[in-house]
Amino acid sequence: MTVDPRVFLRALLDAALAAVAPARALPAHLPEPPKGRTIVIGAGKAAAAMAQAVEAHWRGPLSGVVVTRYGHGAPCRAIEVVEASHPVPDRAGADAARRILDSVRDLTGDDLVLFLASGGGSALMALPAPGLTLADKQAVTRALLRSGATIGEINCVRKHLSAIKGGRLAAAAHPARIVTLAISDVAGNDPAVIASGATVPDPTSFADARAILAKYGIEPPAAVARHLAAAEDETPKPGDLRFARADYVLIATPQQALEAAAAAASKAGVTPLILSDAIEGEAREAALVHAGIARQAAASKLLVGDKALPLPAVILSGGETTVTVRGPGRGGPNTEFILALAVALRGHIRIHALAVDTDGIDGTEDNAGAVCGPDTLARAGASGIDLASLLAENNSYAAFAALGDLVVTGPTRTNVNDFRAILILPDKP
């Protein structure tokens, strides 16, 4: 191939992001206007862009409020956009959540609630259950984020500390019709996990939440422990009649992003292989598996049927990896994935890779992820950078900042979670 590998990988990312942008994905799924009022509410990193898309295509009056992460806002006319903290909630998010809940009370069967759900919505729409404080939720969130817990486990706990998540928002909106338009950021696209399932029945329980904290050795604040032990006011469950007029539509998914990248690769003459859209687990362990697959492809031993995967090829995958934080360093799961991958590949001369979070923010940093190539280890060594030591310290951000290999996109205003692309070049041009 004649194009620079890093330019090519970034083009695949751009194709993936374009496919799941709210302006493109949302309009075709809007419901018909109701006889009564239309209330638009939402939470997530894509919430403002989704609200913009609603306003651009809605026929009739509407009002409402959505909450998104700081820096992810977008101007709207009738829908108010509030910015708040993610992944640890703050007072702005709690206040927005209360306003969202209040806005759907006392509606009638003629009214429509349009809920715009996307990744990050759980932290951004943080309304503590009675008897709990915002500080309680912040403490539990920080502990869970450092523990290596999956997003499903984190959101199970969040739902049982909340006055709005786990179906409670839909229950409050009854008897109005509620239509959720969702951009999935979770493996398997489970509506009960996306933004903590505020508008769908919750299959998890207080017992599940207690078990998750115990699994990771997390000692919650005393008020949280009492609340979970009392197990009062369980989340609404499947079969609850308050969900009879609740519809749920997935408008963008990780698989759609991967398929768009695959199409762009094919157009460029590169063979795409979508490995999975639902990879979970420790970022560094996922990197070891990806490195093995990439080396197999480079050796023409990765068979599809009875034929080797044609090169050049690109291995694509999504999902959500996690990091169990043991060191003092900085960096999110995608940056740690690339660092572990670079170490595992040991400078393989024909493999290049990119890994990013599609919302533009890897963990809590200002980068989306990072890239690596055949020269990564050599350049690090020439600069006195010990990549293996930085990996042990969970200090992937420092590694790639020093090398100039961070991927910085800024807020993308969408979120289908991790995007990984590993390019394997042929032995000869």
Under the banding of pLDDT at 50, 70 and 90, the label for residue 428 is confident
In a domain, 299, yes or no: yes
What average pLDDT is seen over the chain?
A: 96
Domain count, the chain: 2
Q: Are 96 and 48 in contact (CB under 8 A)?
A: no
Among 252, 281, 307, the domain-final residue is: 252
The predicted model scores a pTM of 0.93
Among 233, 252, 271, the domain-final residue is: 252
**208-224 confidence digits (pLDDT tens):** 999 999 999 999 999 99
The pLDDT value given to residue 1: 66
Q: Which amino acid is at 48?
A: A
Q: Do 207 and 297 have their domain in common? A: no
Under the banding of pLDDT at 50, 70 and 90, the label for residue 89 is very high
In a domain, 429, yes or no: no
The two tokens of residue 385 are 């950078």
The two tokens of residue 317 are 């995958």
Helix (H, G, I), strand (E, B) or coil at 398: helix
**19-40 confidence digits (pLDDT tens):** 999 999 999 999 999 999 999 9
Q: Do 238 and 271 have their domain in common? A: no
Q: Do 38 and 106 have their domain in common? A: yes
**167-197 confidence digits (pLDDT tens):** 999 999 999 999 999 999 998 999 999 999 9
The two tokens of residue 193 are 């996990």
Reply yes or no on whether the pLDDT at 306 is more than 60. yes
**100-115 confidence digits (pLDDT tens):** 999 999 999 999 999 9
Q: Do 135 and 217 have their domain in common? A: yes
The pLDDT value given to residue 99: 98
In a domain, 9, yes or no: yes
In a domain, 182, yes or no: yes
**Mean pLDDT, to the nearest integer, of 32-52?**
98
Q: Do 208 and 91 have their domain in common? A: yes
> CA-to-CA distance for 144 and 76, rounded, in angstroms?
34
Among 252, 282, 303, the domain-final residue is: 252
Q: Are 70 and 84 in contact (CB under 8 A)?
A: yes
> CA-to-CA distance for 156 and 158, rounded, in angstroms?
5
Q: Do 308 and 376 have their domain in common? A: yes
The residue whose two tokens read 């007072």 is: 91
> CA-to-CA distance for 156 and 139, rounded, in angstroms?
16
**Mean pLDDT, to the nearest integer, of 246-254?**
98
The two tokens of residue 92 are 């702005």
State how far Cα 315 lies from the chain centre.
20
Q: Do 30 and 146 have their domain in common? A: yes
Question: At 390, which CATH number?
Answer: 3.40.1480.10
Q: Do 284 and 242 have their domain in common? A: no
Write out the E strands in 358-429: 369-372, 406-407, 418-424
The pLDDT value given to residue 327: 87
Q: Do 306 and 226 have their domain in common? A: no
The pLDDT value given to residue 2: 76
**Mean pLDDT, to the nearest integer, of 273-290?**
96
> CA-to-CA distance for 388 and 343, rounded, in angstroms?
7
Q: Do 317 and 371 have their domain in common? A: yes
Question: At 220, which CATH number?
Answer: 3.40.50.10180
Under the banding of pLDDT at 50, 70 and 90, the label for residue 429 is low
Helix (H, G, I), strand (E, B) or coil at 40: strand
Q: Do 236 and 356 have their domain in common? A: no
Domain that includes residue 300, residue range = 5-16+255-424
Torsion of CA 209, 145, 97, 367, to 10 degrees: -150
**354-405 confidence digits (pLDDT tens):** 999 999 999 889 999 999 999 999 999 999 999 999 999 999 999 999 999 9
The pLDDT value given to residue 364: 84
Q: Do 405 and 301 have their domain in common? A: yes
Under the banding of pLDDT at 50, 70 and 90, the label for residue 410 is very high
